[in-house]
Amino acid sequence: MLGVISIYGPHSSGKTGLIERILERFGKWRILVLKKTHQEYLDTPGKDTHRLLERAWAVAAASKREWVLIRRNEGDLMRFIEDLRREMRPDLIIVEGFLEGVPSVAMPGDERGNPTLVYDGDDEAVFRLVEREILKKRVYDILPHLDCGECGEDNCEAFARAVIERGRKVSECKYHNPGATLSLTVNGQPVYLGPFVHELMENVLMGILRSLKAPKDIREFELRYRRR
C-alpha cells in the first residue's frame, strides 16, 4: 500500500518525538498520523459518547478548535487505512505502531518484522524514506489507476514505485493524460477516456451546465448516476 509508513518500538523509545520531527520537516504536506492503541476502546465505557456510539454508526465531537470522529472498528485495520486514504486524501499516513506490509522504521529494542530502517539516531535517513514514500504516492495519484499492466509492471502502484526507485518515466504510461480535466468511474472501477471521448464529454457537460442555473465560474463539478 502506497503512502503509508509504520514507526514502531517499545514504550518511551522516542517514536512520538521522531514523528514530531518528521511533521516539522514535511510541514507543507498533508500528513495524517494514525496512533495504534492496545486499549479496547478510545472513549471511557459509560460516558455519553461511548453510550451513543453503542447505537450510532459514528459519533463526532467538536470544540472551537478541534473535532474528532469515532467510528466502530470492524477489525480490519488495512481496510480502515484505505478508507482514510480515500476520504482524507493525505500525502502520507504515519502509523505509530507495528504494521506489516508497508515501509517501516523500528526503534531500538524492537525485533518485530523486517523493518526498512532500524533507527540509530540518524533523522536524515528517516526523512529520505518519508520523502520517497510521499513522492511514490504523488506519482500514483496522477496515474489513471487502470492496473492494465501494459507498462510492464503488475499495477499502477508498482509503476509508481518504479518511477521513484528505478527512474522510469510517467510518460511511459500510455494512458496518462496530464491535461485531463475529467475522470470516470463505473461501479467503483476507473475507466480510461481517450482524447476524443474526453473532449466530447467535457464539451457536452459544460454546455449542459451553462444552460442550467449553475455558477458562471465553474471550477469543479460532480455528477453521479445510480440505476434504479
Model pLDDT for residues 162-178, shown as the tens digit of each residue = 999 999 999 999 888 77
Indicate the CATH number of 4-113 among 3.40.50.300, 3.40.50.1220, 3.20.20.10, 3.90.800.10: 3.40.50.300
* DSSP summary character for residue 138: H
Alpha-carbon span 180 to 35, nearest angstrom: 37
Q: What mean pLDDT comes out for the span 27-44?
A: 86
Residue-range domain boundaries for the chain? 4-113, 180-228
Alpha-carbon span 201 to 12, nearest angstrom: 56
Residues 6 or more apart in contact with residue 73 via CB below 8 angstroms: 80
Model pLDDT for residues 181-219, shown as the tens digit of each residue = 888 888 888 888 888 888 899 999 999 988 888 788 888
Could you please report the per-residue DSSP string of 153-196?
SSSHHHHHHHHHHH---GGGSTT--TT----EEETTEEE---HH
pTM of the predicted protein model: 0.77
